[in-house]
Amino acid sequence: MKIEFTPDENKRIKGTKSSFFLAKFGFYLSALLFIITIISSIFYPEIFPQKQNFILTPLLLFWLYLLRLAPSQWKQFNRDVKNISIKTIRGTALLHSKPGFRILFSPKSQLTVDGLTFDLNNYPPKQLFIGRNVECRYLKQSRLLLSIIDLKTTEQNSALTIETTLTKREYNILVLMSEGKPDKLIARELNLEPATIRTYNSSLYKKLNATNRKDAVINAKLRSLIDVN
């Protein structure tokens, strides 16, 4: 099966491209202005006084420091997108502040899933599913968070889909099967032939992704299709 980005992931990638481009542009522009400032202060002191140099140089160095990772992150990101380098991880979603000393800006939020940490980069807060068991798709090298799926909701929806595809007869057989009754007794209670029950069993196994009666009952209970007790 070919791995592809979903439409929502493509939108996120497009937005991230714009952010990385602006960051990379700011880095190179700051570097260029820094070089021009130094050269001008040395060779043209009458045009560019030392006082201006003392003000602009620290400011440009500060922006260079903030944007220092932009070029390498841009390369990693482009490589991931080109190769469709998608990784998947499952675990509990935990939100915390990004470690580090900050003066001018408030700490950024990060998401941790099964020991792996992601920068949110404007990821929608309502779609983080904090404290729940989730599945995350992300780019391998740049570790850009692409999408988050709430596994509990997905499993519930899957169970509902299976439940609606079970016929009334299949459901009745499943309930009797969960009570440990053999095919002959189930056939007698439902006024059917044992061969007919075995045909229904094959259909149930396929829908419940099971290979025998025991697995079918276990999977049905896990999906809350029948009473666990």
Please tell me the predicted confidence (pLDDT) of residue 199: 92
- Residue 155: the pLDDT is 62
- Long-range contacts, 212-215 (Cβ 8 Å, 24+): 213/177
Closest by alpha carbon to 224, among 174, 150, 170? 174
List the beta bridge partners of residue 118.
Answer: 111
Res 188: pLDDT: 92
Go through the chain and tell me how many residues it has. 229
* 125: pLDDT strictly greater than 70: yes
* Topology (CATH level 3) of domain 166-222: Arc Repressor Mutant, subunit A (1.10.10)
- In this prediction, residue 215 has a pLDDT band, given cuts at 50, 70 and 90, of confident
How confident is the model over 193-216, as a mean pLDDT?
A: 88
Question: What residues have CB less than 8 Å from 165, skipping those under 6 apart?
Answer: 207
For residues 225 and 219, give the distance between their C-alpha atoms in angstroms, rounded to a whole number: 9
What's the confidence (pLDDT) of residue 112? 92
User: Domain segments of the chain: what residues?
Assistant: 7-80, 85-151, 166-222
**Residue located via tokens 């599913």:** 129
At residue 173, the pLDDT reads 92
pTM of the model: 0.56
Tens digit of each residue's pLDDT (9 = 90 or more) over 141-156? 988 999 998 887 766 6
Averaged confidence pLDDT in the chain: 82
Return the pLDDT at 43: 75
